[in-house]
Protein backbone atom coordinates (compact mmCIF):
# COMPACT_ATOMS: atom_id res chain seq x y z
CA UNK A 1 0.00 0.00 0.00
CA UNK A 2 1.39 3.37 -1.04
CA UNK A 3 -0.12 6.65 0.08
CA UNK A 4 0.97 9.97 -1.31
CA UNK A 5 -0.23 13.21 0.19
CA UNK A 6 0.32 16.78 -0.89
CA UNK A 7 3.12 16.00 -3.36
CA UNK A 8 4.66 19.23 -4.64
CA UNK A 9 7.41 19.47 -7.22
CA UNK A 10 8.73 22.68 -8.70
CA UNK A 11 11.39 22.76 -11.39
CA UNK A 12 13.69 25.73 -11.42
CA UNK A 13 14.42 27.06 -14.85
CA UNK A 14 17.83 28.63 -14.84
CA UNK A 15 19.99 30.70 -17.01
CA UNK A 16 18.17 33.39 -18.91
CA UNK A 17 18.73 37.08 -18.34
CA UNK A 18 15.52 37.58 -16.46
CA UNK A 19 16.73 35.22 -13.77
CA UNK A 20 15.31 31.97 -12.50
CA UNK A 21 11.70 31.05 -13.14
CA UNK A 22 9.92 28.44 -11.10
CA UNK A 23 7.90 25.92 -13.11
CA UNK A 24 5.41 24.11 -10.91
CA UNK A 25 5.06 20.50 -12.10
CA UNK A 26 2.93 19.21 -9.23
CA UNK A 27 0.94 21.44 -6.90
CA UNK A 28 -0.11 19.12 -4.10
CA UNK A 29 -1.35 15.73 -5.29
CA UNK A 30 -2.94 13.10 -3.02
CA UNK A 31 -3.58 9.51 -3.99
CA UNK A 32 -3.29 5.93 -2.77
CA UNK A 33 -2.28 2.76 -4.59
CA UNK A 34 -3.81 -0.29 -2.91
CA UNK A 35 -2.15 -3.71 -3.20
CA UNK A 36 -3.16 -5.32 -6.48
CA UNK A 37 -5.18 -2.28 -7.43
CA UNK A 38 -5.04 -0.03 -10.45
CA UNK A 39 -4.67 3.72 -10.39
CA UNK A 40 -4.73 5.80 -13.55
CA UNK A 41 -3.56 9.34 -14.12
CA UNK A 42 -4.71 11.08 -17.27
CA UNK A 43 -3.93 14.52 -18.59
CA UNK A 44 -2.37 16.44 -21.45
CA UNK A 45 1.37 16.48 -22.04
CA UNK A 46 3.00 18.87 -19.63
CA UNK A 47 0.43 18.33 -16.89
CA UNK A 48 2.94 16.70 -14.55
CA UNK A 49 1.89 13.08 -14.92
CA UNK A 50 5.33 11.79 -15.97
CA UNK A 51 6.95 13.65 -13.05
CA UNK A 52 4.46 11.98 -10.75
CA UNK A 53 5.37 8.52 -12.06
CA UNK A 54 9.06 9.21 -11.58
CA UNK A 55 8.49 10.42 -8.03
CA UNK A 56 6.51 7.30 -7.15
CA UNK A 57 9.28 5.14 -8.64
CA UNK A 58 11.85 6.98 -6.51
CA UNK A 59 13.66 8.44 -9.51
CA UNK A 60 12.78 12.02 -8.67
CA UNK A 61 12.68 13.93 -5.40
CA UNK A 62 9.69 15.93 -4.21
CA UNK A 63 9.72 19.35 -2.58
CA UNK A 64 6.83 18.93 -0.14
CA UNK A 65 4.33 16.29 0.88
CA UNK A 66 4.94 12.71 1.86
CA UNK A 67 5.01 9.25 0.35
CA UNK A 68 4.23 6.49 2.82
CA UNK A 69 5.04 2.93 1.80
CA UNK A 70 3.54 0.27 4.07
CA UNK A 71 3.42 2.69 6.97
CA UNK A 72 6.95 4.07 6.56
CA UNK A 73 7.22 7.74 5.55
CA UNK A 74 9.95 8.02 2.94
CA UNK A 75 11.22 11.43 4.05
CA UNK A 76 12.17 9.98 7.44
CA UNK A 77 14.73 7.67 5.80
CA UNK A 78 18.21 8.26 4.46
CA UNK A 79 18.47 7.75 0.70
CA UNK A 80 20.18 4.36 0.99
CA UNK A 81 17.49 3.11 3.36
CA UNK A 82 14.80 4.20 0.92
CA UNK A 83 16.25 1.99 -1.78
CA UNK A 84 14.65 -1.31 -0.71
CA UNK A 85 11.27 0.42 -0.56
CA UNK A 86 11.49 1.98 -3.98
CA UNK A 87 12.86 -1.24 -5.47
CA UNK A 88 9.38 -2.67 -5.00
CA UNK A 89 8.09 -0.02 -7.41
CA UNK A 90 9.31 -0.46 -10.97
CA UNK A 91 8.93 1.93 -13.86
CA UNK A 92 8.09 0.67 -17.35
CA UNK A 93 9.43 3.25 -19.73
CA UNK A 94 7.48 5.05 -22.41
CA UNK A 95 9.77 4.16 -25.26
CA UNK A 96 10.81 0.51 -25.63
CA UNK A 97 13.29 1.57 -28.33
CA UNK A 98 15.48 3.57 -25.95
CA UNK A 99 14.84 1.74 -22.67
CA UNK A 100 17.12 -1.20 -23.50
CA UNK A 101 20.89 -1.01 -23.80
CA UNK A 102 21.62 -1.65 -27.48
CA UNK A 103 25.04 -3.17 -26.76
CA UNK A 104 23.69 -5.88 -24.48
CA UNK A 105 21.84 -9.02 -25.36
CA UNK A 106 18.50 -9.58 -23.64
CA UNK A 107 20.27 -12.24 -21.57
CA UNK A 108 22.78 -9.67 -20.28
CA UNK A 109 20.02 -7.12 -19.71
CA UNK A 110 18.09 -9.50 -17.48
CA UNK A 111 21.18 -11.00 -15.79
CA UNK A 112 22.22 -7.79 -14.02
CA UNK A 113 19.12 -7.30 -11.85
CA UNK A 114 18.76 -11.06 -11.42
CA UNK A 115 22.31 -11.29 -10.05
CA UNK A 116 21.35 -8.73 -7.45
CA UNK A 117 18.22 -10.66 -6.63
CA UNK A 118 20.17 -13.94 -6.39
CA UNK A 119 22.66 -12.34 -4.00
CA UNK A 120 19.85 -11.03 -1.80
CA UNK A 121 18.03 -14.33 -1.63
CA UNK A 122 21.10 -16.59 -1.57
CA UNK A 123 20.40 -18.37 -4.84
CA UNK A 124 22.81 -19.61 -7.48
CA UNK A 125 23.47 -19.03 -11.15
CA UNK A 126 21.26 -21.85 -12.32
CA UNK A 127 18.33 -20.16 -10.60
CA UNK A 128 19.11 -16.95 -12.52
CA UNK A 129 18.99 -18.75 -15.86
CA UNK A 130 15.77 -20.47 -14.96
CA UNK A 131 14.19 -17.26 -13.66
CA UNK A 132 15.12 -15.31 -16.82
CA UNK A 133 13.40 -17.92 -18.97
CA UNK A 134 10.44 -18.02 -16.60
CA UNK A 135 9.95 -14.25 -16.74
CA UNK A 136 10.13 -14.10 -20.52
CA UNK A 137 7.59 -16.90 -20.75
CA UNK A 138 5.41 -14.98 -18.32
CA UNK A 139 5.35 -11.93 -20.59
CA UNK A 140 4.51 -14.16 -23.52
CA UNK A 141 7.73 -14.43 -25.51
CA UNK A 142 9.90 -17.41 -26.39
CA UNK A 143 13.04 -17.29 -24.17
CA UNK A 144 15.06 -19.45 -26.56
CA UNK A 145 14.51 -16.93 -29.34
CA UNK A 146 14.88 -13.71 -27.38
CA UNK A 147 17.67 -14.33 -24.84
CA UNK A 148 20.66 -14.39 -27.21
CA UNK A 149 19.37 -11.44 -29.26
CA UNK A 150 20.09 -7.72 -29.16
CA UNK A 151 17.25 -5.17 -28.85
CA UNK A 152 17.49 -4.08 -32.49
CA UNK A 153 16.65 -7.61 -33.59
CA UNK A 154 13.27 -7.46 -31.83
CA UNK A 155 10.01 -5.76 -32.75
CA UNK A 156 8.57 -2.92 -30.68
CA UNK A 157 6.00 -5.15 -29.01
CA UNK A 158 8.67 -7.71 -28.05
CA UNK A 159 10.96 -5.00 -26.67
CA UNK A 160 8.16 -3.64 -24.53
CA UNK A 161 7.59 -7.15 -23.19
CA UNK A 162 11.31 -7.47 -22.42
CA UNK A 163 11.15 -4.13 -20.57
CA UNK A 164 8.24 -5.49 -18.53
CA UNK A 165 10.13 -8.74 -17.85
CA UNK A 166 13.13 -6.71 -16.66
CA UNK A 167 10.89 -4.76 -14.29
CA UNK A 168 9.61 -8.07 -12.90
CA UNK A 169 13.10 -9.43 -12.11
CA UNK A 170 13.08 -7.77 -8.68
CA UNK A 171 9.58 -9.04 -7.78
CA UNK A 172 7.97 -5.59 -7.62
CA UNK A 173 4.64 -4.88 -5.97
CA UNK A 174 3.85 -1.88 -8.14
CA UNK A 175 4.41 -1.32 -11.86
CA UNK A 176 4.42 2.28 -13.03
CA UNK A 177 3.46 2.22 -16.72
CA UNK A 178 4.06 5.60 -18.33
CA UNK A 179 2.45 5.75 -21.79
CA UNK A 180 3.83 2.28 -22.23
CA UNK A 181 1.91 1.39 -25.37
CA UNK A 182 1.89 4.64 -27.31
CA UNK A 183 4.90 3.62 -29.43
CA UNK A 184 3.61 0.17 -30.33
CA UNK A 185 1.73 -0.91 -33.44
CA UNK A 186 -2.02 -0.77 -33.06
CA UNK A 187 -2.71 -4.47 -33.54
CA UNK A 188 -0.08 -5.35 -30.90
CA UNK A 189 -1.02 -2.64 -28.41
CA UNK A 190 -3.92 -4.52 -26.92
CA UNK A 191 -1.65 -7.54 -26.45
CA UNK A 192 0.69 -5.58 -24.17
CA UNK A 193 -2.26 -4.03 -22.35
CA UNK A 194 -3.82 -7.39 -21.68
CA UNK A 195 -0.43 -8.61 -20.44
CA UNK A 196 -0.38 -5.83 -17.83
CA UNK A 197 -3.95 -6.68 -16.90
CA UNK A 198 -3.02 -10.34 -16.63
CA UNK A 199 0.01 -9.56 -14.41
CA UNK A 200 -2.26 -7.65 -12.06
CA UNK A 201 -4.39 -10.72 -11.63
CA UNK A 202 -1.70 -13.41 -11.59
CA UNK A 203 1.02 -11.71 -9.53
CA UNK A 204 -1.24 -9.37 -7.58
CA UNK A 205 0.91 -6.39 -8.59
CA UNK A 206 -0.62 -2.93 -8.55
CA UNK A 207 -0.42 -0.82 -11.67
CA UNK A 208 -0.01 2.94 -11.74
CA UNK A 209 -1.04 3.70 -15.29
CA UNK A 210 -0.10 7.07 -16.75
CA UNK A 211 -1.60 7.96 -20.09
CA UNK A 212 -3.45 10.48 -22.21
CA UNK A 213 -5.53 7.72 -23.79
CA UNK A 214 -8.50 7.18 -21.51
CA UNK A 215 -9.82 4.18 -23.38
CA UNK A 216 -6.68 2.15 -22.60
CA UNK A 217 -7.04 3.21 -18.96
CA UNK A 218 -10.51 1.76 -19.04
CA UNK A 219 -9.12 -1.51 -20.38
CA UNK A 220 -6.43 -1.97 -17.70
CA UNK A 221 -7.86 -0.22 -14.69
CA UNK A 222 -11.60 -0.31 -15.26
CA UNK A 223 -12.07 -1.41 -11.66
CA UNK A 224 -9.64 1.14 -10.19
CA UNK A 225 -9.44 4.83 -9.46
CA UNK A 226 -8.94 7.48 -12.12
CA UNK A 227 -7.29 10.83 -11.44
CA UNK A 228 -7.54 13.65 -13.94
CA UNK A 229 -4.57 15.94 -13.58
CA UNK A 230 -4.25 19.43 -15.02
CA UNK A 231 -1.20 21.68 -14.63
CA UNK A 232 -0.03 19.71 -11.62
CA UNK A 233 -3.33 19.53 -9.83
CA UNK A 234 -5.97 16.84 -9.56
CA UNK A 235 -9.19 18.35 -10.93
CA UNK A 236 -11.34 15.24 -10.80
CA UNK A 237 -11.08 11.74 -9.39
CA UNK A 238 -13.25 8.72 -8.83
CA UNK A 239 -13.85 5.13 -9.94
CA UNK A 240 -12.71 4.89 -13.59
CA UNK A 241 -16.10 3.87 -15.00
CA UNK A 242 -17.95 6.61 -13.08
CA UNK A 243 -15.61 9.37 -14.26
CA UNK A 244 -15.76 8.18 -17.88
CA UNK A 245 -19.53 7.85 -18.03
CA UNK A 246 -20.32 10.90 -15.89
CA UNK A 247 -17.47 13.44 -15.95
CA UNK A 248 -18.12 16.51 -13.82
CA UNK A 249 -15.16 18.83 -14.44
CA UNK A 250 -15.10 20.68 -17.79
CA UNK A 251 -11.45 19.65 -18.25
CA UNK A 252 -12.31 15.96 -17.93
CA UNK A 253 -15.17 16.60 -20.33
CA UNK A 254 -12.79 18.26 -22.82
CA UNK A 255 -10.39 15.30 -22.65
CA UNK A 256 -13.18 12.80 -23.19
CA UNK A 257 -14.71 14.90 -25.98
CA UNK A 258 -11.37 14.97 -27.82
CA UNK A 259 -11.32 11.21 -28.30
CA UNK A 260 -12.03 10.44 -31.96
CA UNK A 261 -15.44 9.00 -32.70
CA UNK A 262 -15.55 5.79 -34.73
CA UNK A 263 -18.22 7.02 -37.13
CA UNK A 264 -20.20 4.09 -38.40
CA UNK A 265 -19.84 2.28 -35.08
CA UNK A 266 -20.65 5.10 -32.68
CA UNK A 267 -22.10 8.62 -32.62
CA UNK A 268 -20.51 11.62 -30.89
CA UNK A 269 -21.72 12.37 -27.37
CA UNK A 270 -24.47 15.01 -27.29
CA UNK A 271 -22.70 17.51 -25.01
CA UNK A 272 -19.08 17.49 -26.27
CA UNK A 273 -16.95 20.21 -24.68
CA UNK A 274 -14.20 22.03 -26.61
CA UNK A 275 -11.71 24.21 -24.70
CA UNK A 276 -11.72 27.82 -25.87
CA UNK A 277 -7.91 28.03 -26.04
CA UNK A 278 -4.85 25.82 -26.22
CA UNK A 279 -2.80 25.00 -23.13
CA UNK A 280 -0.64 27.95 -22.14
CA UNK A 281 1.58 27.49 -19.10
CA UNK A 282 1.92 31.25 -18.72
CA UNK A 283 -1.74 31.62 -17.78
CA UNK A 284 -2.25 33.20 -14.39
CA UNK A 285 -2.11 30.85 -11.42
CA UNK A 286 -4.84 32.63 -9.45
CA UNK A 287 -8.30 31.15 -9.33
CA UNK A 288 -9.13 27.98 -11.25
CA UNK A 289 -6.17 26.92 -13.42
CA UNK A 290 -8.52 25.87 -16.20
CA UNK A 291 -10.60 29.08 -16.18
CA UNK A 292 -8.92 30.68 -19.21
CA UNK A 293 -9.76 27.69 -21.41
CA UNK A 294 -13.10 26.82 -19.88
CA UNK A 295 -16.25 27.54 -21.89
CA UNK A 296 -18.31 27.73 -18.68
CA UNK A 297 -16.03 30.04 -16.65
CA UNK A 298 -17.51 33.01 -14.76
CA UNK A 299 -15.99 35.73 -12.58
CA UNK A 300 -15.64 33.53 -9.52
CA UNK A 301 -13.47 31.09 -11.52
CA UNK A 302 -10.70 33.62 -12.10
CA UNK A 303 -10.95 34.97 -8.55
CA UNK A 304 -11.02 31.92 -6.31
CA UNK A 305 -9.31 28.55 -6.68
CA UNK A 306 -11.88 25.74 -6.32
CA UNK A 307 -11.11 23.02 -3.80
CA UNK A 308 -11.38 19.30 -4.50
CA UNK A 309 -14.73 18.34 -2.98
CA UNK A 310 -16.45 14.95 -2.89
CA UNK A 311 -19.56 14.44 -5.01
CA UNK A 312 -21.02 10.94 -4.74
CA UNK A 313 -18.17 8.49 -5.36
CA UNK A 314 -16.30 11.12 -7.38
CA UNK A 315 -14.50 14.31 -6.37
CA UNK A 316 -14.04 17.46 -8.40
CA UNK A 317 -12.47 20.91 -8.16
CA UNK A 318 -14.91 23.13 -10.05
CA UNK A 319 -17.11 26.11 -9.21
CA UNK A 320 -19.75 25.04 -11.73
CA UNK A 321 -19.91 21.26 -11.49
CA UNK A 322 -22.30 19.57 -13.87
CA UNK A 323 -22.30 16.05 -15.31
CA UNK A 324 -22.27 16.11 -19.10
CA UNK A 325 -22.68 13.30 -21.52
CA UNK A 326 -19.66 13.63 -23.80
CA UNK A 327 -18.44 10.15 -24.66
CA UNK A 328 -19.46 8.50 -27.93
CA UNK A 329 -22.69 6.53 -27.96
CA UNK A 330 -23.03 3.17 -29.69
CA UNK A 331 -24.70 3.70 -33.03
CA UNK A 332 -27.78 1.55 -33.36
CA UNK A 333 -27.70 -0.29 -36.65
Partner 1 sequence: MTRTSAPGVRIDDLTVVYKTPAGELPALGGVSLSLAPGTITGIVGESGSGKSTLALSLLNAVQPPGRISGGTVEIDGLGNVVDLQGEELRRARGRQVGYVFQAAQNSLNPLKTVGKQLLDLGRSHDFDDLPALLKDARALLGRMGLDGGRVLDSYQHELSGGMRQRVGIMFALVLNAHLVVLDEPTTALDMITQASILRIVRDVHHERGLTTLIITHDMGVAAEVTDSLAVMYGGRVVEHGPTTEVLGAPRHPYTQGLIRAIPRLSGDIDEARALPGRPPTLGTIPKQGCVFRERCPIRIAVCDTVDPVPVTRDARTVACHAVGQPATPVTPKEFA
Query: What are the residues binding partner 1 (CB under 8 A)?
Result: 44-45, 155-157, 185-191, 193-194, 212-216, 218-219, 222, 244, 254-266, 274-275, 278-279, 327-331, 333
Q: Of the two residues 89 and 164, which places its CB atom closer to partner 1 in the complex?
A: 164
Q: Of the two residues 66 and 241, which places its CB atom closer to partner 1 in the complex?
A: 241
Smallest distance from the beta carbon of 117 to partner 1, in angstroms? 30
Strand runs (DSSP E) across the chain, as ranges?
2-13, 21-33, 38-42, 64-69, 72-73, 89-92, 174-178, 206-211, 225-230, 233-239, 266-267, 309-311, 314-316, 329-330
Smallest distance from the beta carbon of 245 to partner 1, in angstroms? 8
Q: Of the two residues 111 and 229, which places its CB atom closer to partner 1 in the complex?
A: 229
Smallest distance from the beta carbon of 16 to partner 1, in angstroms? 13
**Phi and psi at residue 33, to the nearest 5°:** -115, 105
Q: How far apart are CA 332 and CA 311, in angstroms?
A: 32
Q: Of the two residues 56 and 327, which places its CB atom closer to partner 1 in the complex?
A: 327
Q: How far apart are CA 46 and CA 179, in angstroms?
A: 13
> Is the C-alpha dihedral spanning 288, 292, 296, 299 positive or negative?
positive
Smallest distance from the beta carbon of 230 to partner 1, in angstroms? 11
Q: How far apart are CA 131 and CA 61, in angstroms?
A: 32
Q: How far apart are CA 319 and CA 315, in angstroms?
A: 12
Q: Of the two residues 237 and 254, which places its CB atom closer to partner 1 in the complex?
A: 254
Q: Of the two residues 96 and 157, which places its CB atom closer to partner 1 in the complex?
A: 157
Count Cβ neighbours within 10 Å for each residue of 1-17 and write b for 16 or more, e otherwise: ebbbeebebeeeeeeee
Q: How far apart are CA 299 and CA 229, in angstroms?
A: 23
Smallest distance from the beta carbon of 248 to partner 1, in angstroms? 16
Smallest distance from the beta carbon of 250 to partner 1, in angstroms? 12
Q: Of the two residues 116 and 262, which places its CB atom closer to partner 1 in the complex?
A: 262
The helix-helix angle for 156-168 and 186-203 (nearest 10°) equals: 20
Smallest distance from the beta carbon of 142 to partner 1, in angstroms? 13
Q: How far apart are CA 248 and CA 254, in angstroms?
A: 11
Q: Of the two residues 59 and 265, which places its CB atom closer to partner 1 in the complex?
A: 265
Smallest distance from the beta carbon of 296 to partner 1, in angstroms? 16
Contacts of 172 (CB under 8 A, 6+ apart): 87, 88, 89, 90, 205
Amino acid sequence: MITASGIVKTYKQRGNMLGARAVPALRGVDFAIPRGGAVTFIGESGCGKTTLGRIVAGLETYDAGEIVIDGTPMSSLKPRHREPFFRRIQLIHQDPYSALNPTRTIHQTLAAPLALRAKQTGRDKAWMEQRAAELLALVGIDPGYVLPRYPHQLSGGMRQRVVIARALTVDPEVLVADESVSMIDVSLRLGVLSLLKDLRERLNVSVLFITHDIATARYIGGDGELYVIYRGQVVESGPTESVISGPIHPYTQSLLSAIPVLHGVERPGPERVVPTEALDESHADSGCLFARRCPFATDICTAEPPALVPDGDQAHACHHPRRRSVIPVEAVA
